[in-house]
Amino acid sequence: MRIAINCRSCLNKNFTGIGRYTYHLLKNLNEIDRENTYSLYLKRGIFDLRKQPPRFEAANFSVKKDYFKRGVGSVLGNYDVYHAPAPELIDFGRPPAVVTIHDLIFKTYPKGHTKDTIDGTDRQMSTIVENAAKIICCSQNTFKDLKTYFPRGAEKASVIYEGVDRSSFFPVADAERGQARAVLERHGVQGDYILFVGTIEPRKNLANLLRAFFFLKEKKKFNGRLVVIGMKGWLSEWVSALVDQLNIKNDVVFTGYVAGDELRYFYSQAKAYVFPSFYEGFGLPILEAFACGVPVVTSDVSSCPEVAGNAAVTVDPGNIEEISEGIASVVNDSKKSFELVQKGFKRLDAFSFRRMAEETLGVYKSVKANQ
């Protein structure tokens, strides 16, 4: 079977959600499948050296570069299945396509997008659900949303959970603590802190977290800092103004994008990881926090409780006092914190990138069988 996969989302070094999904899908397919042939489709300019594809040693994996935007068919030639790891414009006149849907934010949380973006995404999704051979949803919540807004798509959809890279996310060992402390200090972080990791945009609900943090400080229920790790996204200009308004500038640290061991150090040393999103298609940072041994406070909506299970404190993301009390219940109760960490480790058993790759390969085979 000849399988083509678009790898555009993992070209940049600093890839986030969809990039991680694509990279770990490719990495694990590379490890489990020597039978089929994989072409990794890459669209980029000739001189755009910043975008580098992942490198795999297996002989059945090759990179096909599209320097002149000729399209998948022209560059790849014959193939049996094309996989778009995220929605894109697809030539459905070619062999059948599999499309991964990570979320339907433009439907469930439209205020994070412009009207033109919503209309364009809606048209694109309508085309995908009508023409894709198979659709992969990363959570039951995304499948539920697909069934609500695009019932035809749900008829051809499978739920395949993502995983977490346990070789990249794990607790800091005693021998590493000095190095971890030095990394945190270089970013201006000393002492206790609670952590937020995610793109700074409205649906991530950083505004209510900042307000909840303010209440924690006012009520003297937490004397540490809030560390915010992430790139600026949609409508992020309000953040600085809100920090100034709450007079917490000296208590909040914005690090920008952090990756690798530095990100693991931040997770592992935090008193709590707080993820109060209004909407998530999957919520990968919850698993990263579990793997690093930090207690989690997250939303009780969308996919967050589905991923967290009983291993986190769940709160109403619209209730600032509830977010505040949820954090306080973790950072001020060492027994509860320890129990959540142990539950988090156990919860990870339900999520595996290897299993994700195996189940995705099963989808490819079912598409080929139906040709």
Q: Would you say 62 and 99 are in contact if contact means Cβ atoms under 8 Å apart?
A: no
For 192, the token pair is: 């206790």
Number of helices (H), then strands (E), belonging to the chain: the values are: 15, 13
Please tell me the predicted confidence (pLDDT) of residue 315.
Answer: 98
Please tell me the predicted confidence (pLDDT) of residue 14.
Answer: 63
Tens digit of pLDDT for each residue in 303-338? 999 999 999 999 999 999 999 999 999 999 999 999
Q: At what angle do helices 206-218 and 238-246 cross, to 10 degrees?
A: 10
Please tell me the predicted confidence (pLDDT) of residue 180.
Answer: 96
Q: Does residue 208 carry a pLDDT above 90?
A: yes
Helix (H) or strand (E) holding 253: strand 252-256
Please tell me the predicted confidence (pLDDT) of residue 237.
Answer: 73
Please tell me the predicted confidence (pLDDT) of residue 183.
Answer: 96
Please tell me the predicted confidence (pLDDT) of residue 44.
Answer: 64
Do 2-163+352-369 and 174-350 share a fold?
yes
CATH of domain 2-163+352-369: 3.40.50.2000
Tens digit of pLDDT for each residue in 110-125? 876 788 888 999 999 9
Q: Does residue 247 carry a pLDDT above 80?
A: yes
**Residue 12 confidence class, pLDDT cut points 50, 70, 90:** low
C-alpha 32/C-alpha 20 separation (Å) is: 18
CATH entry 2.40.50.140 includes domain 174-350: no
C-alpha 130/C-alpha 113 separation (Å) is: 24
C-alpha 9/C-alpha 250 separation (Å) is: 36
Tens digit of pLDDT for each residue in 60-93? 998 888 776 666 766 777 889 999 999 998 877 7
**What's this model's pTM, rounded to 2 decimal places?**
0.91
Q: Does residue 290 carry a pLDDT above 90?
A: yes
48-52, 91-95, 130-134, 146-150, range with the lowest pLDDT = 48-52
Mean pLDDT value across the chain: 91
Q: Would you say 256 and 280 are in contact if contact means Cβ atoms under 8 Å apart?
A: no
Cα end-to-end distance, the chain, whole Å: 12
**Residue 222 confidence class, pLDDT cut points 50, 70, 90:** very high
Domain ranges of the chain: 2-163+352-369, 174-350
The closest alpha carbon to 229, from 276, 196, 268, 184, belongs to 196
